[in-house]
Amino acid sequence: MSSSIRRRSYGVKAAPYGFLAPAVVLFSLFFALPIGYAVWLSFRRIEVKGLGLGKGARDEVWAGLSHYTAALTDAELGHGALRVLGYGLIVVPVMLGLALLFALLLDAERVRGRSFSRLAIFLPYAIPGVIAALLWGFLYLPDVSPFHYVLDTAGLPGPELLHGGGLYAAMANIAVWGGTGFNMIVIYTSLRSIPAEVYEAAKLDGATPLQIALRIKIPMVAPSLVLTFFFSVIATLQVFSEPTTLKPLTNAMSTTWSPLMKVYNDAFVGGNVYAASATAVVLALATFALSFALLRVANSGTRKGGAR
């Protein structure tokens, strides 16, 4: 009897590990293992002997930190990072500002069609980024865009959205159109969790809807704003599908417009997966460091605001 109870207790203790095992296996195979392999490749290189023909003429040897040195001193990678920085300075404030505005409007008392509006704002997020970039890309082309046709008919000049500074606005529009709905849902869900008694007390004190929004709602959803800001920064640093999809439509965009495009170009066009792996590791570490720093600053500001 005691051995049966002991086996049953062991089974109860081992049950959580059994439930976790599939997730751990999948995480190891499809996340940890590829990252470890990329780090390993970043320290390797191909050494060619003679003409590089025949068996043993090309060997994979230790490269040390040479790929990392090349990545950190690569001017093209630096220019791509600056372009992404300019792109992010447009996308993140506009997207989060619209998401907060829509969430506050949907949370207002006298709103009609709340369910339809919420679905309509969120729906673009369900469209894959490549499809969204293709749709907007053809709307930007003067020869096929209905907007340019209407402007030409009215005798007005059409904007150049695939050249120069307009290219940043064109790409930012795609990101804002697709990402605002997700951020709005996160903020709106946080707004709906605020107790109604808080609003009632504010109304009794004579607060207007605008004052309630500015002094109660926005401070109380600050953690959600920090979360959406964190996600938006990461997504901006990893921009790839939009510029890659728009690249065939314009000559103003290079194959290394963003850092991830350079990684792709080095690995699959140049055939140098070793240098591309080192660049990818550098970008991952930079993204982690920047995101961690921003999160610490945002959380510090949130705690100070809550203390007041």
Q: Which CATH number fits domain 74-307: 3.30.300.20, 3.40.50.12780, 3.40.50.720, 1.10.3720.10?
A: 1.10.3720.10
Q: What does the pLDDT read at residue 1?
A: 46
Q: Compute the residue count for the chain.
A: 308
Q: What does the pLDDT read at residue 7?
A: 59
Q: Are 217 and 84 in contact (CB under 8 A)?
A: no
Q: What does the pLDDT read at residue 48?
A: 76
- Match 């051995």 to its residue by tokens: 3
Q: What does the pLDDT read at residue 8?
A: 60
The mean pLDDT values, 10 residues at a time, for the chain of 308 residues are 58 76 90 92 84 69 92 93 94 96 90 87 92 92 86 85 86 95 95 91 88 92 90 91 91 90 93 93 91 78 57
Q: What does the pLDDT read at residue 155?
A: 85
The residues spanned by each domain of the chain are: 74-307
Q: Is the pTM of this model over 0.75?
A: yes
Q: What does the pLDDT read at residue 3?
A: 60
Fill in the amino acid letter for 269: V
